[in-house]
Amino acid sequence: MNPPSHGTCSPGTPQERKHVSTQAETFEFQVEARQLLQLMIHSIYSNKDVFLRELISNASDALDKLRLESLRGTELHADTSDLHIEIEADKEARTLTIRDNGIGMSHAEVIELIGTIAKSGTAQLLQELKEAKDAAASQDLIGQFGVGFYSAFMVADRVTLLTRHAAQHQGTRWESSGEGTYTIEAVEEAPQGTAVTLHLKPEDAEDRLFDYASEHKIKEIVKRYSDFITWPIRMATETARSAASADTDSAESEADGAAADEGEGATRPMETLNSMKALWARSRDEVTDDEYHEFYKHISHDWNDPLETIRMHAEGTFEYQSLLFLPSQAPPDLFLRERKRGVQLYVKRVFIMDDCEDLMPEYLRFVKGVVDAQDLSLNVSRETLQQDRQIQLMRRRLVKKVLSTVKDMMSEHPDRYATFWKEFGRAVKEGLLDDFENRDAILEISSFPSTHDAEESVTLRQYLDRMKDGQQHIYYMTGESRQTIESSPHMEAFRAKGFEVLLLTDPIDEMWVGSVPEFDGKQFQSIAKGQVDLDTEEEKKEVEAERERQQKEFAELLSWMTTTLSEKVKEVRLSSRLTTSPACIVGDTYDVTPNLENMFRAMGQDIPQIKRILELNPGHPLVTGLREAHGKGEDPAALEEVAELLHGMALLAEGGELSDPSRFITLLAGRLERTL
């Protein structure tokens, strides 16, 4: 979050000091905001130079928004003839001002946005910071959050902000030392835009706190981090002064009004510090990786380098260029409803909108970047985008490019792929539910924990390569954790016969496995549903007679138990999936799993209770003993208790919940007592 991205002016110039109200209100930072500010003030992030990048980025956003509003015909009555960013350093006063003439902020926006850092993800961030073991980990977490404006407190012991929204006449002045409070007051006749003035801390080379009032240092930072900004970043420099001084004898220079000296009302000679070249429009060999990384940080407000850079240039029926990035870490709000998603949309180098959702599907919401179209209208709206054929075609191609890039990463950079999947795999799998066109491509880049390796995830292609001769299914089981699944009775036969099973523990796994029938001709099969037959044709012939015999021997018991447990199960049958456990609970082929059933209920959906199937292990002593006792006609009440206990044990073994735990404990205690 970068609150003052609406614009940036300073109380440093005479014009800006006019008619300042003396009635300032004092506010307290929220607790979370105060904690985060203290982290910034005490320099948890070692590279303090980035504060200037963040403030310039906010100023650039403000200029983009003002130009966009003017293109839409909004009546702002704002001067857009010379939109720019200005940096002013005062070495004597030890101040640095970053000023823009962008859209600015209203009084209400200043109150809402500054001092209220505690938006989505803040509490989680602070908790993770407390748990971080070292400073490096803390820096990474700060980077995930993107503190933007507040990074100014790394280099300043006091920050003053003066702003006026382009549609209003009155401005607002905000000031704080970043401790516990800040002040806000109304200002008459403030300039359009926003200025942030930093009252700099003393230079401290040991703490990497440099002289940020130094012209040389400012130029170095702008060149490194903000050279690509599309607005001119200007500063009164020695170079500009020398050039102006040399031109004072020129009549043309006098006509232009250039002044060699600086004074009240004089126009200061300015130097533009950045090249303003759009990175996406430049060829790959003209741009360094560092430049791409800084551009990513500018548009994403992430302080970490991206994991992958994706370039795309399309020509033909319509032209567009794109520069996309895969982040190296998932943002804290990746799974929150109020998150923003989408890439920036430009038309012929003109910024149109942030977070253009129509260019990137929900499951790729973490992708950041820029798409620059040549043939769209400059006043295109979010509503018309949904119907625009070009946008839909661009979206299709961009999605395919992202997915193919991840696939290439799998083979060429497996470590980077592992990082990507760890951070974003859960989100990507959401695409299996609604992106039918790219379902196969998503399956190709997916990986899952499996019984093959306790540490490494496996791809479906790797699973297929290891399948046994004659195996027709991709076996999987869903559950809350790997440990729960591996200890399930359903795993016994698969473990005994050496069949690999995918262990699906993400909540989204419960959803997509029911709608994705197969991968490369092999059907997905839950080991906890339907009938399981792992025997080869030869093994079937060998055990066929034995199974027929067992079916006859257990027929009466199975019929009796089905009737006895009719309120709990739909059927009791013999199992071919058990080797050591006496019983297990399974679902019919198309039944909803218990986990999914619970998820639906948690979302407020009232779905009927689903009866499942109880399978018995015909070779287990408890089951054979029950068959014999039933055949002899022993105490029916006692046998019913055993049947109920068998069902309860099977339910607990798969991590389920008993409908009446106290009754189960009473029955179990009674049976144990009679054995002593």
Q: What is the pLDDT of residues 256-299, one digit of tens each?
A: 444 434 444 445 689 999 988 888 988 889 999 999 999 998 88
SS3 labels along 447-463: EEEECCEEEEEEEHHHH
Least confidently predicted of 131-135, 157-161, 636-640: 131-135
C-alpha to C-alpha distances, 81 to 143, 182, 464, nearest whole angstrom: 36, 34, 63
- Per-residue model confidence (pLDDT) at position 149: 82
CA dist 492 and 107 (Å) reads: 67
The pLDDT of residue 545 is 85
Between CA 24 and CA 282 the distance in angstroms is 48
pLDDT of residue 37: 73
pLDDT at 72: 77
Binding site listing: 54, 58, 100, 105, 119-121, 144-149, 194, 382
Those residues with Cβ within 8 angstroms of residue 509's Cβ, 6 or more apart along the chain or in another chain: 429, 478
pLDDT at 13: 41
3-state secondary structure of 310: strand
Give the type of residue at 605.
Answer: Q
Lowest mean pLDDT, pick from 183-192, 247-256, 387-396 = 247-256
Quote the CA–CA distance of 651 and 601 in Å, as a whole number.
19
The string of pLDDT tens digits covering residues 203-244 is 988 888 899 999 999 999 998 888 888 899 999 988 777 776
Query: Looking at residue 256, what is its pLDDT?
Result: 47
Across residues 336-360, what is the average pLDDT? 84
Q: Find, among 334, 409, 322, the residue nearest to 370 by Cα.
A: 322
- In sequence order, the β-bridge partners of residue 158 are 199
Q: Could you tell me which residues come within 8 angstroms of residue 44 by beta carbon, excluding any fewer than 6 positions away?
A: 135, 138, 139, 142
pLDDT at 42: 66
Structure tokens at 98: 């970053």
pLDDT band (50, 70, 90) for residue 16: very low
Give the pLDDT score at 325: 97
Q: Where are the alpha helices (DSSP H) in 257-388?
A: 289-300, 382-385
Buried/exposed code over 270-286 (b: 16+ C-beta within 10 A; e: otherwise)? bbbbbeeebbbebeeee
Q: pLDDT confidence of 47, banded at 50, 70, 90?
A: confident
pLDDT greater than 90 at residue 671:
no
Q: How far is residue 644's CA from residue 636's CA, in Å, rounded to a whole number? A: 12
Rounded Cα–Cα distance for residues 44 and 28 (Å): 23
pLDDT higher than 80, residue 252: no
Amino acid at 54: E
CA-to-CA distance for 584 and 586, rounded, in angstroms? 7
Q: Which region among 163-167, 376-380, 466-470, 546-550 has the lowest average model confidence (pLDDT)? A: 376-380
Confidence of residue 422 (pLDDT cuts 50, 70, 90): very high
Confidence of residue 668 (pLDDT cuts 50, 70, 90): very high
Distance set, CA 94 to CA 12, 202, 262 (Å): 12, 8, 19
Query: Residue 142's pLDDT is what?
Result: 44
Average pLDDT of the segment spanning 156-183: 92
Which residue matches tokens 């695409």? 431
The band of 451, judged by pLDDT with boundaries at 50, 70 and 90, is: very high
Please indicate, yes or no, whether the overall pTM of this predicted structure exceeds 0.85. no
Domains and CATH numbers, the chain: 33-237 (3.30.565.10), 289-428 (3.30.230.80), 446-526 (3.40.50.11260), 539-674 (1.20.120.790)
Query: 301: phi > 0 → left, psi -120 to 50 → alpha, else beta; which?
Result: left
Query: How do residues 55-87 score in pLDDT, each as one tens digit?
Result: 998 899 899 999 888 877 777 778 888 999 999
pLDDT greater than 50 at residue 118: no
Strands 181-188 and 193-200: unpaired
| Binding-site annotation, residues for ATP | 54, 58, 100, 105, 119-121, 144-149, 194, 382
Task: Taking each helix axis as running N to C, give the angle between helix 621-631 and helix 636-653, from 0 to 180 degrees, rounded to the nearest 10.
Answer: 160
- Could you tell me the CA-to-CA distances from 443 to 70, 363, 438, 536 in Å, in that order? 45, 13, 9, 28
* Mean pLDDT, residues 409-437: 96
| Single-letter amino acid code for the residue at 267 | T
Count of beta carbons in the 10 Å neighbourhood of residue 350: 14
User: For the chain, how big is the Rg over CA atoms in Å?
Assistant: 33
Is pLDDT at 111 greater than 90 in this prediction? no
Token pair 């940020």 is found at: 212
- pLDDT above 80 (res 9): no
Provide the pLDDT confidence category of residue 350 given band limits of 50, 70 and 90: confident
Confidence class of residue 127 from pLDDT cuts 50, 70 and 90?
Answer: low
- Phi and psi, residue 369, nearest 5°: 150, -165
Is residue 130's pLDDT more than 80?
Answer: no
Specify whether the CB–CB gap between 102 and 65 falls below 8 A: yes
Own/partner pairs for 511-514, CB < 8 Å, 24+ apart?
511/433, 511/596, 512/429, 512/430, 512/432, 512/433, 513/476, 513/478, 514/592, 514/596
Does pLDDT of 416 surpass 60? yes
State mean pLDDT over 30-44: 68
613 DSSP β-pair partners: 571, 586
In the chain, pLDDT over 90 holds for what percent of residues?
Answer: 51
Q: Which secondary-structure segment (H or E) carries 356?
A: strand 350-356
Q: What average pLDDT does the structure give for the chain?
A: 84
The beta strand positions in 440-562, using DSSP E, are 447-450, 453-459, 473-478, 502-504, 518-519, 522-526
Q: What is the mean pLDDT of residues 146-153?
A: 74
Strands 193-200 and 25-28, how do they pair? unpaired
